[in-house]
Amino acid sequence: MNLVLISLILLLGFSSYYFGRKKATIIQSSQRLTALPKFYGYYLAIWCAAPALIIFSLWSVFEPTIVKNFILADYLDQNLTKNELQLIYTKVKALALGTYTGDINNFLDNSAGKYIQIKNMANNAKIVIVLAALILSLSYAYQSIKKNNRMREPVEIFLKWVLFTASLAAVLVTIGIVFSLLFEAIRFFQSVRIFDFIFGTHWYPAKTFVRDGQPDPELMKDAFGAVPLFAGTFFIAFIAMCVAIPVGLLSGIYLAEYATRKVRKYAKPIIEILAGIPTVVYGFFAALTVGPFVKEIGNSLGLEVSSESALAAGAVMGVMIIPFISSLSDDVISAVPQNLRDGSYAMGATKSETIKKVIFPAALPGIVGSILLAVSRAVGETMIVVMASGLAANLTANPLESTSTITAQIVVILIGDQQFGDPKTQAAFALGISLFVVTLFLNVIALTVVKKYREKYE
Amino acid sequence: MNEAKRKLLNKRYRAEANFKLFGQIAIGLALLFLAVFMYKIFSKGYTAFQKTWIVTEVHYDKELMLIETDNPSLEDLENADYYDIAYKAMTHLDPSLPEEDDRQLIQMVAFTYEQEVKNHLLKNPSLLGKIVPIRLTASDDLDQVHKGNYPRDIPEEDRRVNDYQLKIYDMLNERGDILSKFNLSFFTNPDSREAELAGIASSFMGTVFSILVCLAFSFPIAVLAAIYLEEFAPKNKFTDFIEVNINNLAAVPSIVFGLLGLGVLLAVFNLPRSTPLVGGITLSLMTLPTIIIAARASLKAVPPSIREAALAMGASNMQTTMHHTVPLSMPGTLSGTIIGLAQALGETAPLILIGMVAFVNTIPGTPVDPAASLPVQIYIWSESAERGFVEKVSACIMVLLGFLILMNLAAQIIRHKFERKWN
């Protein structure tokens, strides 16, 4: 139904383009046009389709809520909770569609009848209103064409608005992220104190699972302490940085200062392949090859090593991050002005001395920025940890034991079927918002530092 | 020059050489990681492109198949009973085996052997009543034994293939009745719980649909947004805010987008769970900033002289942009788009959150059918305990990497072939 209406609108829009253009050529025979003929076509097409489509989408967005309110108005005097009302509404809808299989009482039956009635009415009203709007705006535009008003400006203004709306998409996504996370997280913090979440040291959400009914608040208090996860996240990120910073930084310096043009041309893209490999592939590699390898070495040294160790996950994550640091620091070092180098060489310093004492301090802000970006990347990395570092949230500083991270726990909680309204599901969103805040913080600092640095030398 | 100075100088030169060496070691390490990684994946995965078959004889016996008519139609063949002849085809490999142990023989082939016997006849109905050789898919354990991935010398109770089955296997192998052929079914079968039957067709189609949806959503919006920000936006606080926003969005962890998809697309808009449609939209939100940044960079690279020339000829701002700047910036935008899509192609975590990890054993035909995607398939299989899946995972990784390489190559080619150099 909706599809037919949309295609009708679009069809009319396209045909009015040709109609408008033709009209313009007719006008052309008697008087001078105010714009190229195609703008007449665009003008008519825009006026034909845009208002109708806008009304159509607004209607489609608001219709379900309004219909729901109409139906549930009958149940308001029964003092039902929100969830019960939702359930009733779902039942009514299923009954109206003929897919309901439970018990049917009179009340439900009445509501279903009313639902069908309202739905039909709404549908008809929608078609009438949308088509009326289309005809009205079309005739207005046609009048305006007949008068040979200026045609290019309105079309271009419209296009500019379209461009502007598109640029709002990025803002909308951010708003969507913040609100969807906040919404669930706030509900989570209604059942679990925020203090217990941030400072609790025991993470065991499975404990709160109770069939039919509210879990015991005492249990809840002790099940959602996120400290082990925060600690695990930063611990694994720390291990990753221990691998990535030395290797990445040294290769960045080598590429920028020592490497011949040819070496640079081939080595840089090859190292960047490391960043293009999907993380799930690293996860598989870490779980299947690196994990057992670490375990074997540890066992031969007489150490107790879990087969899913933080070390394996962190090391592989570090390899993944190498190119972020090497490429960014390469760029940053190359951007240091040549006269700084020349000055140092003129004083008799060797290349490595120049790098260590002149270039590195000059490039430091940029390098710090790139490292912060890399840390944010490590903190947000999911699949490697899920596959290689185990899922039990241990509070430990031993790299040979398994730890879990924020991201891994989100996946563990949300894999499979989720139930909204369950504190476990909401906990995932609370974790999500802490992850978002941490990475946002790191990113903002890193981007500001890098930007300041660039401005300094440009 | 005195001795002390010479010593100091030598020390400095040594430090210089050492420093350079460290740099070389670092680069070498990074390359070594890559090489080991590729070697491990390829050496584990290439065997998955071979499939092991057991050749045996089947007698399409009308009586055992419960066919009563003399000239059975295809429909009769369709409805005939194949259990007995398929069973016989396997058990006659070793007539001396007592009946209660027959599972040992049956377990050497995939559980679909009855279906395979049936399909063979349906393809050649003239075989009815004859005794013909037929090849049946070997079970994944036997498959692994044949490929040498499975140790034979460990104690029998630790092995999935027992001594008796190994004996039969050796006998068949000597007769040349174990075939190893290109594994077409890996590409045409959907996922399965049995490693020998599992293929990537379902997850591949899921990936294709997700990427198409992602492209359809992200490309137009991103390009339009980039045009606005680069060509029309006034310099004020609000556009600065949008710009900061885009840069930050590009660095948000992918799993957060998964939460967004779950909390908004599934919970608020009630879109169908586990489908490439939702997956694609989620990925498109993630790729949006990448494409915007690439498109802006390539718009910025178009020299102002082009714009000035167009404006001087009397074109409006919009005409200048749409007729000249945007077409000239397209190669850069397109290659940025392909790179963004390649990133989206490898994403796993957001798709897991919106339910694309469901076990799907049908090939999805539209974007609103439940599906997995290639990276998610890698995750699903690598969580599976069966040994046969290890090589499947590696093979799936090879396919995925192949795609990524193709996409990046395409981006490179577009950039080098079509991009104008302005000097």
Q: Token digits for B249? A: 């969005």
Torsion angles phi and psi, residue A251, rounded to 5: -70, -35
Q: Token digits for A218? A: 């005492």
Quick check: is B143 in a domain?
yes
For B40, the closest of A181, A289, A356 (CB atoms) is A289
pLDDT score for A159: 93
State yes or no: pLDDT of A323 exceeds 90: yes
Quick check: is B129 in a domain?
yes
State yes or no: pLDDT of A212 exceeds 60: no
State yes or no: pLDDT of A309 exceeds 80: yes
Residues B275 and B411 in one domain: yes
State yes or no: pLDDT of B328 exceeds 60: yes
Quick check: is B196 in a domain?
no
pLDDT band at B31 (very low <50, low <70, confident <90, very high): very high
Which of A155, A156, A229, A284 to mutate to test binding with chain B, by most B CBs within 10 Å of its CB?
A284
The pLDDT of A259-277, averaged and rounded, is 89
CA distance A29 to A39: 17
CA distance A19 to B85: 71
Residues B119 and B268 in one domain: no
pLDDT score for A233: 92
More confident residue, B12 or A457: B12
Q: What are the tens digits of pLDDT across the range A40-86? A: 889 889 988 888 999 998 988 888 888 888 888 777 777 777 777 77
Query: Which residue ranges form the domains of chain A, and what is each CATH number?
Result: 2-150 (no CATH), 221-457 (1.10.3720.10)
More confident residue, B256 or B57: B256
| DSSP letter for each residue of A328-390 | HHHHHHHTS-HHHHHHHHHTT--HHHHIIIIIHHHHHHHHHHHHHHHHHHHHH--HHHHHHS-
CA distance B242 to B288: 13
Within B228-275, where are the H helices? Answer: 237-249, 254-260
Number of separate domains in chain B: 2
CA distance A181 to A429: 5
Which percentage of chain B shows pLDDT scores above 70?
100
Q: Which residues of chain B are within 8 Å of residue A246 when distances are taken between CB atoms?
A: 26
State yes or no: pLDDT of B158 exceeds 80: no
Quick check: is B42 in a domain?
no
pLDDT band at A213 (very low <50, low <70, confident <90, very high): low
Residues B212 and B315 in one domain: yes
State yes or no: pLDDT of A195 exceeds 90: no
CA distance A395 to A404: 9
pLDDT score for B335: 92
> What are the beta bridge partners of residue B55?
B135
Nearest-neighbour CA in chain A from B265: distance (Å): 10
The packing angle between helices A152-191 and B201-227, to 10°, is: 120
pLDDT score for B80: 81
For B260, the closest of A171, A176, A248 (CB atoms) is A176
Range of the domain at B81: 47-183
CA distance B334 to B213: 16
Last-in-domain residue among B136, B157, B183: B183
State yes or no: pLDDT of A274 exceeds 60: yes
pLDDT band at A458 (very low <50, low <70, confident <90, very high): low
pLDDT score for A413: 87
Residues B106 and B227 in one domain: no
Q: Do B242 and A152 touch (CB under 8 A)?
A: no
pLDDT score for B110: 85
CA distance to A231, A445, B278, per residue, from B253 (Å): 18, 16, 18
| Residue B166 host element (H or E) | helix B163-175
With residues binned 3-state (H G I as helix, E B as strand, rest as coil), the percentages for chain B, rounded to 5, are 65, 5, 30
State yes or no: pLDDT of A241 exceeds 60: yes
Residues B208 and B347 in one domain: yes
pLDDT score for A216: 63
Q: Burial level of A283, CB count in 10 A (0-12/13-18/19+)?
A: buried
Quick check: is B17 in a domain?
no
Tell which residue, B256, B280, B278, has the closest CA to residue B269.
Answer: B278
Q: What are the tens digits of pLDDT across the range A77-127? A: 777 777 777 777 777 877 777 777 777 777 777 878 888 888 888 888 888
Torsion angles phi and psi, residue B138, rounded to 5: -70, 155
**CA A374 centroid distance within chain:** 18
Q: What are the tens digits of pLDDT across the range A173-190? A: 999 999 989 988 898 888
| Residue B295 host element (H or E) | helix B276-300
Residues B59 and B106 in one domain: yes
For A156, the closest of B255, B285, B316 (CB atoms) is B316
Residue A266, CB-side half-sphere exposure with 13 Å CA sphere: 5
More confident residue, A259 or A215: A259
**In this predicted structure, which of A73-87, A105-119, A194-208, B370-384 has the lowest mean pLDDT?**
A73-87
CA distance B315 to B317: 7
Looking at chain B from residue 399 to 418, which residues have their Cβ under 8 Å from any Cβ of chain A?
400-401, 404, 408
Last-in-domain residue among B117, B150, B183: B183
CA distance to A325, B103, B184, per residue, from B112 (Å): 51, 14, 16
pLDDT score for A217: 63
Torsion angles phi and psi, residue B123, rounded to 5: -75, -40
Q: Do B379 and A383 touch (CB under 8 A)?
A: yes
Which of A163, A260, A279 to mutate to test binding with chain B, by most B CBs within 10 Å of its CB?
A163
Q: Which residues of chain A are within 8 Å of residue B347 when distances are taken between CB atoms?
A: 278
pLDDT score for A347: 93
CA angle B108, B113, B119 (to 5 degrees): 155
Give this complex's ipTM: 0.89
The pLDDT of B18-23, averaged and rounded, is 93
Contact indicator for A400, A306 with CB cutoff of 8 Å:
yes
Residues B245 and B377 in one domain: yes
pLDDT score for B311: 95
Residue A454 CB partners (closer than 8 Å, separation 6+) = A335, A366
Nearest-neighbour CA in chain B from A278: distance (Å): 5
Contact indicator for A49, A158 with CB cutoff of 8 Å:
no
Q: What are the tens digits of pLDDT across the range B264-280? A: 888 888 888 889 999 99
pLDDT band at B283 (very low <50, low <70, confident <90, very high): very high
Quick check: is B4 in a domain?
no
Nearest-neighbour CA in chain A from B217: distance (Å): 11
Q: Token digits for B301? A: 């690279």
State yes or no: pLDDT of B173 exceeds 90: no
Looking at chain B from residue 339 to 398, which residues have their Cβ under 8 Å from any Cβ of chain A?
342-343, 345-349, 352-353, 355, 357, 375-376, 378-379, 382-383, 390, 393, 397
Mean per-residue pLDDT over chain A, rounded: 86
Q: Do B375 and A251 touch (CB under 8 A)?
A: no
> What are the beta bridge partners of residue B132?
B58
pLDDT score for A69: 82
Q: Do B249 and A420 touch (CB under 8 A)?
A: no
Tell which residue, B260, B247, B353, has the closest CA to residue A179.
Answer: B260
CA angle A51, A57, A61 (to 5 degrees): 145
Quick check: is B260 in a domain?
yes
| A239 secondary structure, DSSP code | H
Q: What are the tens digits of pLDDT across the range B240-266? A: 888 888 988 988 999 999 999 998 888
The pLDDT of B129-156, averaged and rounded, is 82
Residues B261 and B369 in one domain: yes
Q: What are the tens digits of pLDDT across the range B396-420? A: 999 999 999 999 999 989 888 887 7
| A309 secondary structure, DSSP code | -
Quick check: is B10 in a domain?
no
More confident residue, B80 or B238: B238
pLDDT score for A110: 80
pLDDT band at B307 (very low <50, low <70, confident <90, very high): very high
Q: How many residues does chain A have?
A: 458
State yes or no: pLDDT of A432 exceeds 70: yes
CA angle A347, A351, A355 (to 5 degrees): 95
CA distance A203 to A431: 12
Q: What are the tens digits of pLDDT across the range A327-385? A: 988 988 988 889 999 999 999 999 999 999 999 998 988 899 899 999 999 999 999 99
Nearest-Cα residue of chain B relative to residue A349: B12
CA distance B205 to B189: 11
State yes or no: pLDDT of B54 exceeds 80: yes
Sheet of B50-59: strand order equals B131-137, B50-59, B178-182
Residues B217 and B246 in one domain: yes
Q: Do A277 and B346 touch (CB under 8 A)?
A: yes
For A113-134, give one letter per residue: b (16+ CB within 10 A) or e.
ebbeebbeebeeebbeebeebb
Residues B116 and B171 in one domain: yes
Nearest-neighbour CA in chain B from A247: distance (Å): 5
pLDDT score for A37: 84
For B408, the closest of A169, A276, A283 (CB atoms) is A276
For A407, the closest of B222, B253, B268 (CB atoms) is B253
Nearest-neighbour CA in chain A from B167: distance (Å): 31
pLDDT band at B111 (very low <50, low <70, confident <90, very high): confident
Read off the CATH number of the domain in which B237 is found.
Answer: 1.10.3720.10
CA distance to A268, B3, B342, B344, per residue, from B402 (Å): 20, 61, 11, 15
CA angle B80, B83, B86 (to 5 degrees): 110
| Residue B51 host element (H or E) | strand B50-59
More confident residue, B211 or B195: B211
State yes or no: pLDDT of B350 exceeds 90: yes
Residues B277 and B152 in one domain: no
Residue B141 CB partners (closer than 8 Å, separation 6+) = B150, B160, B161, B387, B388
The pLDDT of B224-245, averaged and rounded, is 90
State yes or no: pLDDT of B347 exceeds 80: yes
For A436, the closest of B247, B256, B343 (CB atoms) is B256
pLDDT band at A207 (very low <50, low <70, confident <90, very high): low
Last-in-domain residue among B157, B183, B209: B183
Which percentage of chain A shows pLDDT scores above 70?
95
pLDDT score for B94: 79
CA distance to A37, A42, A149, per residue, from A32 (Å): 11, 18, 11
pLDDT score for B195: 82
Mean per-residue pLDDT over chain B, rounded: 87
Residues B165 and B245 in one domain: no
